[in-house]
Amino acid sequence: MSEEISNLKPDGESYPVVKTEEQWQKDLSEFEYHVLREAGTEPAWSGELEKGENLTYSCRGCGANLFTSNEKFDSRCGWPSFWSPLAKDAIIEIADTSLGRLRTEVRCANCGSHLGHVFAGEGFETPTDLRYCINAVCLTKAE
């Protein structure tokens, strides 16, 4: 995708956390900035995400709680997979046609950072039949 993420939600409202591009670049590493603020993707199987029970994962960009280890599952796709976000209002889903086909992008509802994509109907035996395929670099263990 490699597009710069705006400080405005698709509906034109501002995200609760707004930073200048200079602030984002100061707060994030070059790679983190590329994925979170330019909608990049980390290579499959390259990301590290703390494992364990009853963990909460937050947005690396703003610290908002997004997912928990209770909804995490092994989809064998190379990226952390969740069958549901922590709360529906924790994320925003946006139509993405950047690869010439329709996908659904997932962004943090608090700061607008790109997290990954959500896919439906892949046949995983999860309660929602959804796979939130999230870049590990976008998440950090909540304190």
- Which residues are identified as catalytic? 133
Cα torsion at 114, 115, 116, 121 (round to 10°)?
A: -120
**Exposure class string for 83-94: b at 16+ Cβ within 10 A, else e:** bbbbeeebbbbb
88, two tokens: 């529906």
